Structure 1
Amino acid sequence: MYGKIGVVGLGYVGLTLAAALARKGYEVHGVDTSPAVREALRAGRVHLFEPGIEEVFAETVGRNVFVPTELPADVDVAVISVSTPVDDRTRQPDLTNLAAAAEQVADWCGPDTLVVVRSTVPVGTSRRVVLPALLAAWGRARLVMAPERTIQGQALRELVELPQVVGGLDDESRQAGIDFFGGLANRVVPVSSLEAAELVKLSNNCHTDLIYSFGNELALIAERHGLDPLEVIGAANLDYPRPDLSKPGYVGGGCLSKDPYIMINSAGGEPGPFLVGAARRLNEYLPVHVANRVVDLLRQVRGGTVGARLAVLGWAYKGWPPTDDMRGTPIATMMPVFRSAGMTVVGHDPMVPDEVIHRHGGEPTSIDKAFSDADAVLVINDHPDYRAIRIETLLGGGGPRPALVYDSWRILDEAAITAAGIRYAGIGYLPYPRTPAPVPAPARGA
């Protein structure tokens, strides 16, 4: 029934959906406002990292995937997947891209086109922002909201395996959405309205932010009392029949760093929400807290920070599944702390190009040099390359070595690091440094 699909916005959400649809045999027409993105995709080059995407585009561009400057008028479905950023200062969602995309779809297509909102939006936005543009041009519309809920690194699989939530303007729209996504996913979950579908997406992401924030809160409390948060969390979870506590860690990315603010906007002010904003503030505070801890510890072990060289491993916002996404990366809020302390920052990330590290204020380095040429090493993400580090091999030559290793994810060999005389720490974990065994004084008269 639906064979010709248009996708408006070829960022992460639109690009992965286009690839998944192409693998299912649909004819996909993707448009984007960026000439560079259009040019790259027409040549089969993908502008972001996601396993499997590059192979799909290399095989399908020019066959059943096309990248025009505007959608053909006869597409059966037009999916709007443009960005809905949050203003850095006001924390209010910016729906400019969404409104522009709705106007474009209204100009390009017609009332028989099923319009799908895929972007994350405040509750009520599909009806308030997208629908009026369609009605003004067509007099009637078929409109659904079907939120994207994939995790980076597993998008192509999850687009098929995760249930696709579909809310419609009316029964006809909802059924059309069910039919469309039924050709992609193993299961479709219909909900009663556009607004219900909008709230589903916000609920998933904000709940994740809340869960992670509690693990971070425990880590901060454990740090204050000289405890190991992983010991506490592990003991609390072991064979306990209630939901597991999350380990501490940074919470970033394109969704979790902005969707809580979209949820807050949806709440409409007093008396709430009570939890979502507090959780987001805590998760945004954590990188700054860690940066200050690194500075404090380096002062203790080195006697100062001016001129100190800090090696940061992991610049993307997460390491597993691997990504090159810098949205919501911890290093962005850490760098001002390091600069004010007079430190030089060098960086490594298997997924992030050198020019991006440069752009964020670092000098590219290697893992080997991080442990031989720096005064301190900060591990920010848990990329498999960092989990595979053999400390004994890196430090076995007897040459220069860092005075401090701050292992945010506790993935390195703590015993090998401390045995080498290096101070070790992690999020919420500041073990007392091992005191070297005293060297016996020579016997009198020797």
Structure 2
Amino acid sequence: MLKATAENSEMKVPEGFEDKRICIIGLGYVGLTLAVAMCDVGFQVHGVERNPHVLDCLSAGKAHFLERGLDERVAKHVNSGHFSFGAKIEPDDHRRVYIITVGTPLTSEKQTNLSAIQSVARDVAEVLKPGELIMLRSTVRIGVTRDVVKPLLDSRDIPYALAFCPERTLEGKAIEELTSLPQIVGGVDNGSTIRAKNIFGFLTPTVITVSSLEAAEMVKLVNNTQRDYMFAFANEVAEICDVCSVSAIEVIRAGALNYPRAFNILPGPVGGPCLEKDPYILTEGVVQKGGQEGLALRARHFNEAMPSRSAALIASHRRGSNSATKKIVIFGLAFKGRPETSDLRGSMAYPLIKHLQAHFPDAVIGGFDPSTDPEEAKSFKIEIFDNAESAATDTDVIFFQTNNPRFQELNLTRLSGLMRNGALIYDYWNQFKDVNLNEGRSYAGLGTWLTANPPSSLGNKKRTASAPAYAGSVEIV
């Protein structure tokens, strides 16, 4: 079978390929990047999206979120007619494949909200024709494809194929990873598995088939929960090192150097639209099948509590200051900085703001992020600054919540001069080397804060943060 790879874009889906016409339902981050990648290799894609803002952006030839190179691809495929879109599923005599990529958020009780998937499954059932293939790509607990979606499709009493193919790309690198990472495929039967495998074989050189729908559902959950757990351990190491007046960055990197059995993950905030929920979804499915909660949720709870612990640490430091705390600004509002994204879903800035407001009720809390839409940033309900200088002016605390690459262009010496005397720059990512601040200003980071010393001893010290700018916890989504 012909396959397309990132290096060989000339290999396209042939005209005679039976499943060339695809309908992708849900044009959020997962659905839109998949649609563009499939158009790149020659599929004819129709997207369905109910959010009018998303449709307006597509009509203007651009995406509704930041992803390098995506706008150009969207415009190209919309203009060529290879990518069409609308607000509902339309019956089509020539369409053969439906891919469901709608969101599966958690409820306030940390249970999976399946209403969107159930609604889409009913809509697909209404237009389903014999022999069509339905693939789920949304993240679900184990058993949802067979026990929730399949009965809704079965209501038509016609033959169809069904598979689960989890998304597993990193925001900011989705197009690249869709053409390089292995895709996982598990079908309700062997025919469904092979058919789904053949479709994804045009995107990537490696398609891994598993024995069941449930195995495919589990792969994504296990991958992300493992990462969350490893990040939680790195963050625990950071807090231990803070207590012991040792640099966590030094300990982790030295321990991992040329030693294959050591872990080499540096500490940092862990959030985003996947890691914040996948351990809950995994545990939910396990408990429903009679299993027990385990380490997955303990790690998730530890990562979730980081903003609370950080705010308390800052408050303790500021109590040793001679001046009141009047202004705190968070640099980086998206859920991560590298690869650069504008996505605010699951951002740890939300709970960090809440805890800072609790500790500093009289302070102005602000935010600055060079990659996010200022209108979207209003969801934080804080003052939003459009440049680093205005954000730093008369500020008592700058809090680097992400390691956005644009922050590397900042002159911390100059910014510290705009801050108030006694001000602190706290950096989750330890991303600045050879920091030399103006007198009376200090710099500290997660896992490198020497808590055995009083706050005043931080002072005007030139210090070295050994972590590279790219270090820390990043999310796969």
TM range (shorter): over 0.9
Q: CA deviation at 1:304?
A: 3.6
Contact 1:357-1:363 at 8 Å conserved across structures: no
Give 5+ residue unaligned stretches, structure 1. 438-446
In 1, the alpha carbon distance for the partners of 2:419 and 2:82 equals 57
Secondary structure of the 1:165 match is strand
* Cross-structure match for 1:218: 237
Contact 2:422-2:440 at 8 Å conserved across structures: no
Q: 1:24 aligns with which of 27, 41, 57?
A: 41
* Residues 353/298 of structure 1: CA separation in 2 closer, same or farther (3 Å cut): farther
Q: CA deviation at 1:129?
A: 1.2
Q: 2:367 aligns with which of 347, 350, 358?
A: 347
Q: 2:389 aligns with which of 368, 381, 385?
A: 368
Point out which structure has higher relative CO (alpha carbons under 8 A, 6+ apart).
Answer: 2
Q: 1:135 aligns with which of 154, 169, 179?
A: 154
Deviation string, structure 1 residues 365-392 (Cα, Å, up to 9, x no partner) = 2212333321111111001111222223
* Residues 394/137 of structure 1: CA separation in 2 closer, same or farther (3 Å cut): same
In 2, the alpha carbon distance for the partners of 1:83 and 1:302 equals 48
1:406 and 2:430 equivalent?
no
Q: 2:181 aligns with which of 162, 165, 184?
A: 162
* Stretches (4+) displaced over 6 A: none
In 1, the alpha carbon distance for the partners of 2:354 and 2:419 equals 31
In 2, the alpha carbon distance for the partners of 1:186 and 1:302 equals 62
In 2, the alpha carbon distance for the partners of 1:99 and 1:128 equals 11
Q: CA deviation at 1:14?
A: 0.6
* Residues 71/298 of structure 1: CA separation in 2 closer, same or farther (3 Å cut): farther
Secondary structure of the 1:161 match is coil
In 1, the alpha carbon distance for the partners of 2:458 and 2:310 equals 21
In 2, the alpha carbon distance for the partners of 1:71 and 1:215 equals 49
TM-score (norm 1): 0.92
* Residues 106/183 of structure 1: CA separation in 2 closer, same or farther (3 Å cut): same
* Cross-structure match for 1:443: none
Q: 2:197 aligns with which of 178, 183, 204?
A: 178
1:315 and 2:333 equivalent?
yes
Q: CA deviation at 1:400?
A: 5.0
* Residues 302/370 of structure 1: CA separation in 2 closer, same or farther (3 Å cut): farther
* Residues 327/215 of structure 1: CA separation in 2 closer, same or farther (3 Å cut): same
In 1, the alpha carbon distance for the partners of 2:168 and 2:414 equals 41
Q: CA deviation at 1:178?
A: 1.0
Give 5+ residue unaligned stretches, structure 2. 1-16, 462-477
Contact 1:80-1:116 at 8 Å conserved across structures: yes
* Cross-structure match for 2:212: 193
Q: 1:416 aligns with which of 436, 457, 460?
A: 436
Q: CA deviation at 1:108?
A: 2.0
Deviation string, structure 1 residues 106-163 (Cα, Å, up to 9, x no partner) = 1123131111000000011100111111111143320000000000010001011001
Contact 1:31-1:71 at 8 Å conserved across structures: no
1:65 and 2:86 equivalent?
no
Q: CA deviation at 1:395?
A: 4.5
Q: Which amino acid aligns with 1:368?
A: E
The RMSD of aligned alpha carbons is 1.9
Deviation string, structure 1 residues 230-274 (Cα, Å, up to 9, x no partner) = 122122212212142311100111100011100011111665231
Contact 2:342-2:372 at 8 Å conserved across structures: yes
Comparing 70-79 with 119-128, greater Cα deviation is found at 70-79
1:387 and 2:397 equivalent?
no
Contact 1:106-1:133 at 8 Å conserved across structures: yes
Secondary structure of the 1:256 match is coil
Q: 1:13 aligns with which of 30, 54, 58?
A: 30
* Residues 118/7 of structure 1: CA separation in 2 closer, same or farther (3 Å cut): same
Q: CA deviation at 1:287?
A: 1.6
Q: CA deviation at 1:413?
A: 4.0
Q: CA deviation at 1:102?
A: 0.8
TM-score (norm 2): 0.86
Contact 1:84-1:98 at 8 Å conserved across structures: yes
Q: How does 1:3-402 map to 2 (within 5 A)?
A: 3-62=20-79, 63-68=81-86, 69-73=88-92, 74-87=94-107, 89-268=108-287, 272-305=292-325, 308-340=326-358, 341-342=360-361, 343-365=363-385, 366-395=387-416
When Rg is computed on C-alpha atoms for both structures, the one with the higher figure is: 1
Secondary structure of the 1:227 match is coil
In 2, the alpha carbon distance for the partners of 1:200 and 1:184 equals 19
Q: Which amino acid aligns with 2:136?
A: V
In 1, the alpha carbon distance for the partners of 2:83 and 2:376 equals 29
In 1, the alpha carbon distance for the partners of 2:218 and 2:419 equals 56
In 2, the alpha carbon distance for the partners of 1:161 and 1:151 equals 12
Q: CA deviation at 1:217?
A: 0.8
Q: CA deviation at 1:436?
A: 7.3
